[in-house]
Amino acid sequence: MSAFATVADGVHAVRVPMPAGGLPDSLAYLIEDDRGRVHIVDPGSPTDEAGGALLAALDALGRGPSDVAAIVVTHLHTDHAGGATALRSLSGAPVLMHEREAAAAVKLSHGLPAPDLDGWGVPADRRPELLAAVRAPIAPGAVPADVLLTDGDLLDIPGRRIRVLWTPGHTPGHLCLHDEEAGLLFTGDHVLPTVNPGLGLGGPTDTNPIADYLAALDRIAGFDALALPGHEQPFTGLAERCAALAEHHLRRAREVAAHPGGTVWEVASTLTWTGGWEALRGFTLLSALSQTALHRDFVART
């Protein structure tokens, strides 16, 4: 897919550059309504480069910021919602997100809560990088939302029927958007075509994010829709992709269950990680340990 592509009638995907260090870009979507206005899903990172990509896409449609009717974010992470505040200032359009995500974003605006490094068995020399990682805000620019969404809501997009689906797991209030007539599913980071999304990356919850995620995969697996994800490229075959993601987590749960006595640190060091355990540093190390702790909790609850 190039930098700007029409993926369905009146729906356009835009590659929005991300700061170096992770994935190269996120995908924003521009949805035209039948009154000539544009609704934007996931504006992207809070950088001039990202904002420039969005403005160029609007320009390619012969539109400008004043034609933006609404900004919907699938979840609070800065690579999806970070640009919302600047776009709201420029356009006057409201920012919409799931009510649970809005609550999580407020809690996370100063970073993640400190993990239980003693309980996890983290060696002393690896603690400073983990403490630094939790202090880095993961949701800058995401608050406050103007409109709170809930499961089953229909977005106010004249000429379209786009329904909100609450799909927790990646974050507590992640949402997908289902265009029921056009057969499109905007999946955010719930389901990506090849990347396995990390889970529980929106702060602590009372429920287990792995269990939430598996249930939310089940909800969408049966959709006969073109998937429009938050990264990579649009894809078909949701059922197969959801099954593969579920199997990844169930396999990981079995691996964790095979080491019942070890600490989170010890268990994580025995698991397979993209790039290898030894290479994990800072936020990626924190994420690996958090995922291991979540899988362990999932095993204990089931």
| Only segment of 45-53, 146-154, 185-193, 251-259 that touches Zn ion (CB under 5 A) | 185-193
User: Which residue, 33 or 287, has its beta carbon nearer to Zn ion?
Assistant: 287
Smallest separation (angstroms) from Zn ion to the CB of 69: 24
The nearest distance, CB 34 to Zn ion, in angstroms, is 30
Q: How far is the CB of 36 from Zn ion (least distance, A)?
A: 30
Which position among 25, 42, 79, 179 is part of the footprint of Zn ion (CB under 5 A)? 79
Contact 205, 103 (CB under 8 A): no
CB of 242 to Zn ion, least distance (A): 18
According to the binding rule CB under 5 A, does residue 42 interact with Zn ion? no
Binding of Zn ion by 25 (CB under 5 A): no
In the region spanning residues 103 to 142, those forming contacts with Zn ion, defined by CB under 5 A, are: none
Choose between 153 and 189: whose C-beta lies nearer to Zn ion.
189
Q: What is the nearest approach in angstroms of Zn ion to the Cβ of residue 231?
A: 6
Q: Which residue lies nearer to Zn ion by CB, 32 or 189?
A: 189
Cα separation, 80 vs 77, in Å, equals: 6
- Residue 179 or 189 with smaller CB distance to Zn ion: 189
Three-class HEC string of the chain: CCCEEEEECCEEEEEEECCCCCCCEEEEEEEECCCCCEEEECCCCCCHHHHHHHHHHHHHCCCCHHHEEEEECCCCCHHHHCCHHHHHHHHCCCEEEEHHHHHHHHHHCCCCCCCCHHHHCCCHHHHHHHHHHHHCCCCCCCCCCCEEECCCCECCCCCCCEEEEECCCCCCCCEEEEECCCCEEEEECCCCCCCCCCCCCCCCCCCCHHHHHHHHHHHHHCCCCEEEECCCCCECCHHHHHHHHHHHHHHHHHHHHCCCCCCHHHHHHHCCCCCCHHHCCHHHHHHHHHHHHHHHHHHHHC
Stretch that binds Zn ion, among 120-128, 181-189, 212-220, 275-283 (CB under 5 A): 181-189
- Closer CB to Zn ion, residue 115 or residue 230? 230
Output 189 or 212, the one with its CB closest to Zn ion.
189
With binding defined as CB under 5 A, does residue 189 bind Zn ion?
yes
**Count of residues touching Zn ion (by CB under 5 A):** 2
Q: How far is the CB of 139 from Zn ion (least distance, A)?
A: 12
Q: Least distance from C-beta 25 to Zn ion, angstroms?
A: 10
Contact set with Zn ion (CB under 5 A): 79, 189
